[in-house]
């Protein structure tokens, strides 16, 4: 088990490195996040001890369930799943960044809770670049207005935009989603909104990380290529049933 995870990690880093080289990009501009949904703590521990630092969970209860198994490790945890407002207090105990900010109500509730705790958190705005019902996220056309609104919450540090995109057996069908996230970012930056001078892109997963690097991602979220199949069946990408 350990050998497989370490070997897979090496392979993923090699893929990132090669894709960066091809795209003429600096490897340091692309961070790797381990998507650890359904992965037990002992497997995550192997990856962290092999040098990884950043993990992402889709379910709030998986953070608490694995917390004890991860004690003593220096990790940064992001939340990447669909966030229900009644889980906000709990998610803030574990995550330093919410990558899936997808509606105003969540921004309001995050702000309310963070005010109480007297602190802030980082966020990515999730954008539905594939226009699928099965995916959450604001629509690309709403992005500028959404950023202008949530910018008023001092407790939220806007780090960038996140998308899942169109997953298809035909890999090239993903590319328009990735391009759309980049264009949405550029459109926001073009507005010259005060305090929004730099936005990162979180996109690219096991099957499309090279393409995402070509299209400008700064953070790839990889699960399957490191930890193997999750055996969740074909409904895995319906975010509506993720929690």
Ligand X SMILES: *Cc1c(COP(=O)(O)O)cnc(C)c1O
The footprint of ligand X (CB under 6 A) covers: 35, 37, 58, 80, 164, 205-206, 221-225
Q: Which residue, 151 or 173, has its beta carbon nearer to ligand X?
A: 173
Nearer to ligand X, 188 or 222 (CB): 222
Closest chain position to ligand X (CB):
223
| CA 159 remoteness from chain centre | 11
Min separation Cβ 229 and ligand X, Å: 8
Q: CB-wise, 155 or 165, nearer to ligand X?
A: 165
Least distance (Å) between residue 167 CB and ligand X: 8
- CB of residue 56 to ligand X, shortest distance in Å: 7
Q: Detail the DSSP E strand segments found in the chain.
A: 31-35, 54-57, 76-79, 97-101, 121-126, 156-162, 200-202, 219-222
Let me know: does 68 contact 52? Beta carbons within 8 Å.
Answer: no
**C-beta closer to ligand X: residue 18 or 149:** 18
* SS (HEC) of 208-219: CHHHHHHCCCCE
> Using CA of residue 149, residue 155, residue 161, residue 166, what is the dihedral sign?
negative
Beta carbon nearer to ligand X, 81 or 140: 81
* Nearest Cα residue to 114 out of 127, 102, 97: 97
CB atoms within 10 A of CB 11: 12
Q: In this structure, are residues 184 and 201 in contact, taking their beta carbons and an 8 Å threshold?
A: no
Q: How far is the CB of 89 from ligand X (least distance, A)?
A: 22
Residue 154 CB, shortest distance to ligand X, in Å, is 27
């Amino acid at each position: 088990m350990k050998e497989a995870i370490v070997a897979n990690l090496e392979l993923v880093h090699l893929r990132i490195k090669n894709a960066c080289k091809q795209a003429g990009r600096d490897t340091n501009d692309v961070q790797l996040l381990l998507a650890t949904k359904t992965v037990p703590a002992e497997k995550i521990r192997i990856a962290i001890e092999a040098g990884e630092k950043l993990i992402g969970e889709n379910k709030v209860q998986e953070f608490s369930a694995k917390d004890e198994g991860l004690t003593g490790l220096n990790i940064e945890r992001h939340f990447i799943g669909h966030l229900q407002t009644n889980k906000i207090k709990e998610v803030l105990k574990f995550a330093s960044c919410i990558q899936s900010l997808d509606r105003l109500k969540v921004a309001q509730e995050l702000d309310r809770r963070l005010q109480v705790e007297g602190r802030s958190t980082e966020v990515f705005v999730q954008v539905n670049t594939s226009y699928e019902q099965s995916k959450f996220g604001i629509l690309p056309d709403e992005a500028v207005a959404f950023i202008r609104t949530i910018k008023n919450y001092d407790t939220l540090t806007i780090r960038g935009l996140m998308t899942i995109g169109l997953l298809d057996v035909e890999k090239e069908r993903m590319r328009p989603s990735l391009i759309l996230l980049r264009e949405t970012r550029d459109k926001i930056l073009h507005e010259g909104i005060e305090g929004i001078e730099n936005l990162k892109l979180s996109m690219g997963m096991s099957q499309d990380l090279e393409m995402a690097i070509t299209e400008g991602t700064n953070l790839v979220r990889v699960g399957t290529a490191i930890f193997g199949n999750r055996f969740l069946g074909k409904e895995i990408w319906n975010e509506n049933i993720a929690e």
